[in-house]
Amino acid sequence: MSKIARSAYLAGFYALAWADWLACDNPYAQDDRAAIAAGALGYLNTIAITLRKL
């Protein structure tokens, strides 16, 4: 069993970058729109997670 001891996320500029990406006509961006609408943005902005074994 483990728990998340620490995590780090992208912020600031990256919100603007995501908005720009999602507004374009790229087919991959269209797929990302659905993922983000389902709540995946927090995971897509994750840059580090430290797990601690219990």
Confidence (pLDDT) at 11:
66
Q: How confident is the model at residue 10 (pLDDT cuts 50, 70, 90)?
A: low
- What amino acid is encoded at 42 in this protein? G
Instruction: Give the C-alpha separation, 38 to 51, whole Å.
Output: 25
Quote the pTM value.
Answer: 0.56
Q: How confident is the model at residue 23 (pLDDT cuts 50, 70, 90)?
A: very high
10 Cβ contact list (under 8 Å, min separation 6) = 45, 46, 47
